[in-house]
Amino acid sequence: MKKHAYLIIAHHQFEILEKTLQLLDDARNDFFIHIDAKTKSVDFEKLRSKVKYSKIFFIDRISVNWGAYSQIRCELALLSAATKVDHYVYYHLISGVDFPIKSKEEIFAFFDKDTQTEYVHFAEFPPRPEIMERISKYHFGMEMNRKNLFFRIQKRFLLAAQKLLHMNRTAREKVQYAYGANWFSITDALARYVLEKKDWIAQHFSHSNCADELFLQTVVVNSDFLPNIYAQKQKMQLDDYHAIMRAIDWKRGQPYVYRMEDFEVLLQSDYLFARKFDLNVDSEVVDALFNHLKEA
The per-residue pLDDT for 146 is 66
Q: Are 120 and 259 part of one and the same domain?
A: yes
Q: Are 189 and 281 part of one and the same domain?
A: yes
Q: Are 151 and 231 part of one and the same domain?
A: no
172 found inside a domain: no
Q: Are 191 and 75 part of one and the same domain?
A: yes
Q: Are 136 and 211 part of one and the same domain?
A: no
Q: Are 118 and 138 part of one and the same domain?
A: no
- Domain harbouring 23, CATH code: 3.90.550
d(CA 256, CA 275): 8
Q: Are 216 and 84 part of one and the same domain?
A: yes
Q: Are 88 and 223 part of one and the same domain?
A: yes
Q: Are 54 and 195 part of one and the same domain?
A: yes
Q: Tell me whether residue 8 is exposed, middle or buried, using C-beta atoms within 10 angstroms of its C-beta: 0 to 12, 13 to 18, 19 or more.
A: buried
Q: Are 201 and 227 part of one and the same domain?
A: yes
The per-residue pLDDT for 157 is 79
Q: Which range of residues forms the domain containing residue 148?
A: 129-164
106 found inside a domain: yes
- What end-to-end distance do the CA atoms of the chain give, in Å? 22
d(CA 58, CA 80): 13
Q: Are 66 and 209 part of one and the same domain?
A: yes
253 found inside a domain: yes
The per-residue pLDDT for 142 is 75
Q: Report pLDDT digits (tens) over 155-193.
A: 787 877 778 777 888 877 889 999 999 999 999 999 999
173 found inside a domain: no
The per-residue pLDDT for 57 is 99
Q: Are 156 and 58 part of one and the same domain?
A: no
135 found inside a domain: yes
The per-residue pLDDT for 172 is 76
Q: What's the structural domain count of the chain?
A: 2
Other beta carbons less than 10 A from residue 27's beta carbon: 11
CA 107 to chain centre: 17
d(CA 85, CA 45): 21
The per-residue pLDDT for 164 is 79
169 found inside a domain: no
Predicted model pTM:
0.95
174 found inside a domain: no
Ranges in the chain, pLDDT < 70: 145-146
